[in-house]
Amino acid sequence: MPPRIRLQTRQLKVRIYHHQIPSQPCFYASLATATTPAPPIEQTIHSVSPIARFPPTQPPSHKPPEVRKSQLHREYQSLLKSSPLILIFQHNNLRAVEWMGIRRELAIALRKVDAELAAAGQKDLYADAIKIQIIQTGIFASALRVVEFYNPETTELPTQHPSNPATASSAQIPNVKPTPEDSRLAHGLSRRAHEAASDRKKKLDLAPLLSGPIAVVAFPAVSPQHLKAALSILSPSAPNFPAPKRKASPSYHEPAVQNGIQKLMMLGARVDGKAFDQEGTKGVGSIPGGLDGLRAQLVGMLQNMGAGVTNALEGVSRSLYFTMEGRRYMMEEEEKGPEEKKDVEETKAE
């Protein structure tokens, strides 16, 4: 059947309009030849690499890792592990201005110590690493429990991680599930760490200190010189830890700083994992000449001991010699003795 509406053959033609914009050349997608890049040979001979269950730097943790609490816990653990000397202060309602002044004075005093050490040719300069910081007391106590009571054995986590490009796709990787229940996870926020630390029968020495408003000063090494400088700023006491003189550092004697220091109370310290009270800490701070001074003392002591040992050993032979000599002398005397007596008798007889 012919179409009802007659169409002219001219109208059936498909028209292609050439709207050529002078600045833009015209391309037709339909005219382009589609070139799909061939897959690399690696992909064709290996299968798809195994699936990463979690990023290697973010193993699943017991508490949700994104909350502030968990992050602080992690931060405090690393602080406790990396600093062998931590001073613990209570701060009673310090104002921001007072904190600012105290921080400034502490930094100045520590830099002075560093300058002295650098002048003496030492390389243990810690001034920039030592700061006073306010902590969340409960979280800090919990982190301390983990650091003290949780000693993970060698972790059984796979050394080959799926997301590592070096891992062969055929590698047999144990299925580490992205759940905190997995017992192979052994990091500080893991469930194992939580269980080890939540054993209430274990008591911390520092536990009674960790309540109320607490600030800590963490030192990256047990350095008596730096400790002395910090103590003389933060809790000055007359003979060993004098506050800087008014002439030497006038900014220390500003009312803001002085008011702040009155409100700081030193409670104790943690030195090499042991709890120290105020006096013990001052004892550590008053080691003359720092660790080098201690070493010098030890060397001196050992040398004295060596001299003593040689004296003692020599003494034995010497005393033996003397006794033998003495004995010889005595025997000679005895031999001589009767003859002399005879002489005496002879003279009497005459």
Partner 1 sequence: MITRFLSEVRTSFNPFSPLSKTARTFLAQLPPDARSQGMVIKSTILPRTSTQKPELAVKFKDGKKLKLDLATMRSTEVMAEVDRHSRILARKEELSG
Contacting positions for partner 1 (CB under 8 A):
90, 92-95, 205, 208-209, 211-213, 259, 262-263, 265-268, 275, 277-280
Radius of gyration over every alpha carbon of the chain, rounded to an integer in angstroms: 42
| Residue corresponding to tokens 């000397």 | 85
| Residue corresponding to tokens 């939580």 | 194
Between helix 68-82 and helix 137-149 the angle, nearest 10°, is 50
Q: How far is the CB of 92 from partner 1 (least distance, A)?
A: 5
Q: How far is the CB of 197 from partner 1 (least distance, A)?
A: 19
Residue 214's alpha-carbon distances to 61, 84, 94, in angstroms, are 27, 18, 12
Q: How far is the CB of 103 from partner 1 (least distance, A)?
A: 17
Q: Which is nearer to partner 1, 171 or 275 (CB)?
A: 275
Q: Which is nearer to partner 1, 168 or 207 (CB)?
A: 207
The residues facing 217 across adjacent strands are 87, 132
Q: How far is the CB of 204 from partner 1 (least distance, A)?
A: 11
Q: Which is nearer to partner 1, 84 or 280 (CB)?
A: 280
Q: Which is nearer to partner 1, 5 or 96 (CB)?
A: 96
How many Å apart are CA 264 and CA 212, to the nearest integer?
A: 13
Under a CB-based contact definition with an 8 Å cutoff, are residues 234 and 107 in contact? no
Cα three-residue angle 244-247-253, rounded to 5 degrees: 60
Q: Which is nearer to partner 1, 71 or 92 (CB)?
A: 92
CA-CA-CA-CA dihedral for 42, 45, 47, 52, to nearest 10: -20
Q: How far is the CB of 320 from partner 1 (least distance, A)?
A: 50
